[in-house]
Amino acid sequence: MTYTVLIPARLASTRLPNKPLADVAGKPLVVRVAERALQSRAAQVVVAADAPEILAACAAHGVRAVGTRAGHPSGSDRLAEACALLGLDGDDVVVNVQGDEPLIDPALIDAVAALLPAMPAAQMGTAAHAIDSVADFVNPNVVKVATDAQGLALTFSRAPLPWWRDGFASGIHALPQPAPLRHIGIYSYRAAFLRGFPQMPPAPIEQTESLEQLRALWHGHRIAVHMTASAPGAGVDTPEDLARVRAVFARQPQEQRG
């Protein structure tokens, strides 16, 4: 199986300005993400950038990048344009690796890519792992997913999912069993589906939950879910996240971090 990794990168960020260019052990954050993705089995890894500064940073470190319009409302729109620029279409498999995940496991990228050839009914793939704390279960920033017997997503929510009717009668003090699932924000797509996704009308439930993947389910498409044993490495959304990731790289031997 061959597939392409696309990494959306935009310069504007409310919580961390110029995030893709933030220094991580001597290289821009987006370059560190691309280097991790290049350790997967992807046939190509391409950054989909919205600014000349990102394109220049990628070029300086030998990372392939394409320029996309700055006004895209979402990462999916940016990737749809990148698919067109790269000539990806039909059943070509594309994996969306977020541009702020420099610690992502290359094996996870491979596993999410492999979902679509194995599950012809699905147009998208993603990943999840078991939640092991009540704090994560009730945190609206931790997105949950419920799956069916075939490993296809039934729904996603920021609310505790599933709701344990009897166990939560006096408050949420324990986790239901089997363990609820935390959604991991990595996606694979069939390229033709991705190119058409931005033209689909947004779903009411998507707008209520602020979860774009619910649009696919609302329109009747299926999302396959890979179960992984552990959470991915920390992403970068805030200055505090950046400091933690920098500390991880600082502990790595020079030859390992590149």
Residue 117's CB: how many other CB atoms inside 10 A?
Answer: 14
For the chain, what is the total number of helices (H) and then of strands (E)? 10, 11
pLDDT value of residue 256 = 59
The answer to whether 117 and 93 have CB atoms below 8 angstroms apart is yes
User: Which residue has 């394109």 as its token pair?
Assistant: 55
Residue range 88-138, pLDDT digits in tens: 999 999 999 999 999 999 999 999 999 999 999 999 999 999 999 999 999
Closest CA to 160 of 132, 181, 186: 181
Q: What is the pLDDT of residues 57-96, one digit of tens each?
A: 999 999 999 999 988 888 888 999 999 999 999 999 999 9
Count other C-beta atoms under 10 Å from residue 202's C-beta: 14
Beta-ladder partners of 96: 6, 187
Q: Is the pLDDT of residue 15 over 90?
A: no
Q: What share of the chain is helix, strand, coil (3-state, %, to 5)?
A: 35, 20, 45
Supply the mean pLDDT for the chain: 93
In degrees rounded to 5, what are phi and psi of residue 65? -150, 150
Kindly report, residue by residue over 222-256, the tens digit of the pLDDT.
Answer: 999 999 998 887 789 889 999 999 999 998 776 55
